[in-house]
Amino acid sequence: MTQPLYLSYFAEQDGEKRWGLSIHLEQDRFERPPHEWLQGLHAAADAWRQDFPNVFLRSELGIEPEPECRRASLVSYLYASGEINGPRLGRHLTMLRETGTIHRFTVRPGAYAEGADLVGRQGRIADLLKILESGSCHLRAPRRYGKSSILRHLLKMFSATGHPCLLADISSGQTAVWFLVTLARAAMDSSCRSAVESLPELARSPSREASPVEKSRAFEQLREGISPNPWSFGRRLLEALGQARAVLLIDEFSVFLRETYEKRPDEARALSDLLASSRRSDSPTRQVFAGSTGLSSYMHFHNLGESFADLVPLDLPPLTKPEAAMLAEELLYGAHQIPSPEAVERILDTLGEPIPYFLHSVVSAVLEESPGHTHVTLEEIDRAYTERVLGTSGNEMFKLYSLRNRPYPPTLRRVASRILRELAQRPEGIETDELRRLSTSDATDQSQFQSLLSCLEEDYDLVKMNGRWVMRSKVLRDRWILREPWLTRVE
């Protein structure tokens, strides 16, 4: 039996080994002499060193792994062709340098992305923090772009520094009382507790360690207590949070506003004004509203813009192609699949603009299509996309994109359905005048039509290219072609 052989890279500082990586060359498995791998591995390490000239990286070849090093299999750095995947080796060396460990990416469609899984968002997080230095923000993006993941990341960042911050998901509420109770509960469970616990209504609130049943009972009593006059409690709650310089992270606000306005428009306006007053007071709260970009649409259609005019909009884009390629590759490796550059490229081709949710969903479908395999084929990717993602099993994935979940008035939802149905069939695009003619049978004037186009563009349905409107998401376009009635029904 051949002795195990390890190639170890380790960083030295002041003559001491700080961190490193030992790669098992697995001679029995590959039946190739080690020197055939060494050239490619060393070339990748040398390329990595160009970006980190201050790191003294040494290599050793031996029959035992270096005790200071993380262990990895050679297969972790091979493509399906057997060639060395140099960029991945470089990524892992960077991870070791920055965190001392190697992160394994896992496929989780729809789950929150945390830590290293939050790919491609550091620039937007920095932009958001800059906005919060002097104002408040509307974090805008379509469904499943990672807005909630960014809010959770911000909560951890602020909590780690001791800065008062709370996160409230308000998607399931429909009244101002419910909103204020949810805000109070989030404050009492967060670093904001000391700022608000002196309020008489919260004096007997349970501790953070109390059971969910105890908390639910206490906050039900709070709901009953403030129902006769929620605005007095709301003003005092927000004043206390403002005096503490708290940051309020409010998730799914567009859903809450739509549901509340449809049943209690005056109440929705009063709550919007209350939040605006808190942002504009002498002791302002910093507020981040996240939800689909439909919030801007709703404000426009219902003349609520004045209450939110001070919010700085920040758009969350799709991933760049290099970010998406890296993520697709890491997801496959994490599932013990050996990808090829061609397989990664095919996955990206199915997506069009790479949305994190769709990327995870497509890779998940590919893994379901190729159980037990170690190499993903192009045929398996194509079959997974057409039969699983675009088929009936994809209904759950696409339910959030139905037009009936949009905050548009019913008449304009019908126009939007007609426009998107036509665009799905015409990848070459449609000029504005022709789109306008598609809405002539409805009572929509020029101003309403232009507003609808702006909303569809803001919601990332449409984009104008070379003077023509086209559907922005290839995945949604393909889905609408194959299962159009399911997506476009507006009742």
How far apart are alpha carbons 474 and 442 in whole angstroms? 28
Residue type, 39: Q
Closest CA to 221 of 198, 243, 205: 205
Of 402, 316, 319, which is closest to residue 359 (Cα–Cα)? 319
For residue 333, what pLDDT is reported?
Answer: 95
Distances (CA, A) of 319 to 147, 344, 437, 450, 465: 13, 15, 34, 28, 19
Angle at 412 between CA 411 and CA 415, to 5 degrees: 100
Return the pLDDT at 30.
67
pLDDT of residue 444: 56
Beta-sheet pairing, 312-315 with 286-291: unpaired
Token pair for residue 277? 């007053």
Q: Residues of 170-187 as b/e, b for ≥16 C-beta within 10 angstroms?
A: beebbbbbbbbbbbbbbb
**What does DSSP say about strands 56-62 and 69-73: parallel, antiparallel, or unpaired?**
unpaired
Give the per-residue pLDDT at 490. Answer: 41
Instruction: Sort 384 into a burial class: Cβ within 10 Å, 0-12 / 13-18 / 19+.
Output: buried
Best CA proximity match to 7, nearest among 25, 32, 26, 33: 25
Contact (Cβ atoms closer than 8 angstroms) between residue 301 and residue 262:
no
Name the residue with tokens 């507790």. Answer: 193
Which amino acid is residue 272, in one-letter code? Answer: S
- For the entire predicted model, the pTM comes to 0.86
How far is 85 from 91, CA to CA, in rounded Å? 10
Residue 442 is predicted with a pLDDT of 53
pLDDT for 349? 92
Query: Residue-wise pLDDT tens for the chain (491 aa)?
Result: 567 888 999 998 777 778 999 999 887 666 677 778 899 999 999 999 999 988 899 898 888 888 878 999 999 999 998 899 999 999 999 999 999 999 999 999 888 999 899 999 999 999 999 999 999 999 988 778 889 999 999 999 999 999 999 999 988 888 999 999 999 999 999 999 999 999 999 888 888 788 888 888 888 888 899 999 999 999 999 999 999 999 999 998 887 887 888 888 899 999 999 999 999 999 999 999 987 656 776 777 777 878 888 999 998 989 999 999 999 999 999 999 999 999 999 999 998 888 898 899 999 999 988 776 688 889 999 999 988 888 887 777 777 777 776 767 777 788 888 888 889 989 899 998 888 887 765 545 777 787 788 778 877 788 888 999 999 888 888 888 876 554 445 44
Q: Are 102 and 72 in contact (CB under 8 A)?
A: yes
Structure tokens at 438: 């598609």
